[in-house]
Amino acid sequence: MQEKANQSLAHSDSRYLTIENNRHIVGEIAGTLVLLAQQNIAIKGTQGGA
């Protein structure tokens, strides 16, 4: 019962929701940057380095 109350409190706290959303967005951006970096490395590798 207490856990349910805590969950509804967390959901009603907009700051908490913003933090969670930001964490999700940052994770997506970081994942995208990693993919781009890997593609760059692969392209440079096929062009003979440098």
Structural domains counted in the chain: 1
pLDDT at 10: 55
pLDDT in tens, 1-41: 566 655 665 556 787 788 889 999 999 999 999 999 999 98
Residue 44 vs residue 12, higher pLDDT: 44
Q: What is the pLDDT of residue 7?
A: 62
Q: Are 49 and 43 contacting, i.e. CB atoms less than 8 angstroms apart?
A: no
Q: Cα separation of 25 and 32, whole Å?
A: 11
Identify the pLDDT of residue 34.
96
pTM of the entire structure? 0.51
* Range of the structural domain that residue 38 is part of: 2-46
